[in-house]
């Protein structure tokens, strides 16, 4: 069983408002590749080269191929115990907000409800030129991106580097972070802004900050408590402790 400090135990018991930020690491145990580290390279390209307006403009076929590759993976995987633990945690607190950088939809599939998706959804498409949603079915084997009725190229409905995040999601997430009494950062390298500033905002607002990640990140020294390991193993144990505290 996971060893936790008395302080963390007390916060788990008393926190009324809880927020969680997740990143690619929470879906790694489902088989979804992360962005950084050795696992993160696709055909030797870095996420920054592919998930950007410049990347799409200079080589739309390559970027489209990367998204079709990832969509095929995401369509074939399921939530893991880390996702289910957060869905269960939502039911155990009066006020719970899940903020995710992930575009794979696995949190919704696992039963989480109050979610802000900061970087969009990979299974949706829109026009690169006019922004209109593109809802036609796309052949997963097709190597070419379709075109919108305006002639613009179709792209995934996700947020690339240099683009603004959806306003409602970013506002809701910052609001939840600033009022959180307990904040978890899970499976994220905590490098990409503005998501990376949310744990800091929470901490500055008085939240107890807990990190769950396979390896240390820039947040590790700032966190009140850091668990280095797999989220699919650590989060279910935190939920078990939480349940025993709520009963006891
Ligand atoms: C496990 C595990 C297991 C593994 N259990 N853990 C200079 C300074 C500051 C900011 C900037 C700057 N220059 C530019 C910026 C802004 C830029 C930015 O942050 N850049 C940095 C890289 C420097 N940000 C933006 O551009 C954002 N927009 C913005 O700021 O708008 C305002 C603005 C607009 C215009 C001009 C100026 C300002 C937009 C960012 C969009 C990011 N988009 C992507 C792609 C989404 C679509 C897609 O999926 O294709 O989002 S990039 C990619 O990174 C994706 C992720 O959501 C995001 C974060 O990655 P994440 O989730 O942390 O994954 P990894 O792989 O990095 O880490 C996984 C971790 O899990 C690792 O640590 C593992 O150890 C761990 N792990 N297995 C637990 N089982
Ligand atoms: Zn269009």
* Res. 38: pLDDT tops 80: no
Boundary-marking domain end, from 134, 158, 182: 158
185, 232: one domain: yes
Q: According to the 3-state scheme, what is the secondary structure of the chain?
A: CCCCCHHHHHHHHHCCEEEEEECCHHHHCCCCCCCCCHHHCECCECHHHHCEHHHHHHCHHHHHHHHHHHHHHHCCCCCCHHHHHHHHHHHHCCEEEEEECCCCCHHHHHCCCCEEECCEEEEEEEECCCCCEECCCCCCCCCCCCECCCCCEEEEEECCECCCCCHHHHHHHHHHHHHCCEEEEECCCCCCCCHHHHHHHHHHCCCEEEEEECCCCCCCCCCCEEEECCHHHHHHHHHHHHHHHHHC
Give the confidence band of 37 by pLDDT, cuts at 50, 70, 90: confident
Cα within 13 Å of Cα(38), Cβ side: 0
pLDDT tens, position by position, 59-97: 999 999 999 999 999 999 999 999 999 999 999 999 999
Who surrounds ion ligand 2 at CB < 5 A?
127, 129-130, 132, 148, 150, 152
53, 174: one domain: no
CATH of the domain at 139: 3.30.1600.10
174, 200: one domain: yes
94, 172: one domain: yes
129, 11: one domain: no
Q: Are 165 and 119 in contact (CB under 8 A)?
A: yes
CB atoms within 10 A of CB 94: 8
Q: Is residue 37 part of a domain?
A: yes
85, 172: one domain: yes
State if residue 32 touches ligand 1 by the CB under 6 angstroms criterion.
no
pLDDT tens, position by position, 219-246: 999 999 999 999 999 999 999 999 998 7
Boundary-marking domain end, from 142, 158, 174: 158
CATH of the domain at 182: 3.40.50.1220
Q: Is residue 24 part of a domain?
A: yes
Q: Chain-wide mean pLDDT for the chain? A: 95
Q: Is residue 43 part of a domain?
A: yes
Is 83 assigned a catalytic role? no
Instruction: Quote the ligand 2 centre to 126 CA distance (angstroms).
Output: 8
180, 86: one domain: yes
- Number of structural domains (the chain) is 2
Laid out side by side, the sheet with 115-117 consists of 115-117, 95-100, 17-22, 182-186, 208-213, 225-228
Instruction: Quote the ligand 2 centre to 235 CA distance (angstroms).
Output: 42
Q: Is residue 1 part of a domain?
A: no
177, 224: one domain: yes
100, 172: one domain: yes
65, 181: one domain: no
Atom of ligand 1 nearest to the CA of 102: 57
Give the confidence band of 140 by pLDDT, cuts at 50, 70, 90: confident
Q: Is residue 26 part of a domain?
A: yes
Boundary-marking domain end, from 108, 134, 158: 158
136, 202: one domain: no
147, 86: one domain: no
What is the span of the domain harbouring residue 129?
33-76+122-158
Q: Is residue 147 part of a domain?
A: yes
């Amino acid at each position: 069983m996971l060893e936790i400090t008395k302080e963390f135990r007390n916060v788990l018991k008393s926190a009324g408002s809880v927020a969680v930020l997740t990143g690619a690491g929470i879906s790694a145990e489902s088989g979804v590749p992360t962005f950084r580290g050795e696992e993160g390279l696709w055909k030797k390209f870095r996420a920054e080269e592919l998930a950007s307006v410049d990347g799409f403009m200079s080589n739309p076929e390559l970027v489209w191929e990367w998204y079709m590759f990832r969509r095929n993976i995401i369509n074939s995987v399921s939530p893991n115990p880390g996702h289910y633990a957060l869905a269960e945690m939502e039911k155990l607190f009066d006020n719970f907000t899940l903020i995710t950088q992930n575009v794979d939809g696995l949190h919704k599939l696992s039963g989480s409800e109050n979610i802000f998706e900061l970087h969009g959804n990979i299974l949706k498409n829109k026009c690169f030129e006019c922004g209109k949603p593109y809802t036609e079915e796309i052949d997963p084997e097709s190597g070419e991106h379709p075109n919108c009725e305006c002639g613009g190229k179709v792209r995934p409905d996700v947020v690339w580097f240099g683009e603004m995040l959806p306003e409602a999601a970013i506002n809701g997430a910052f609001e939840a972070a600033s009022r959180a009494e307990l904040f978890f950062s899970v499976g994220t390298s905590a490098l990409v802004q503005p998501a990376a500033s949310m744990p800091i905002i929470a901490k500055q607002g008085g939240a107890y900050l807990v990190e769950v990640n396979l390896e240390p990140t820039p947040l590790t020294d700032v966190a009140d408590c850091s668990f280095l390991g797999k989220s699919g193993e650590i989060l279910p144990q935190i939920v078990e402790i939480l349940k025993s505290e709520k009963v006891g």
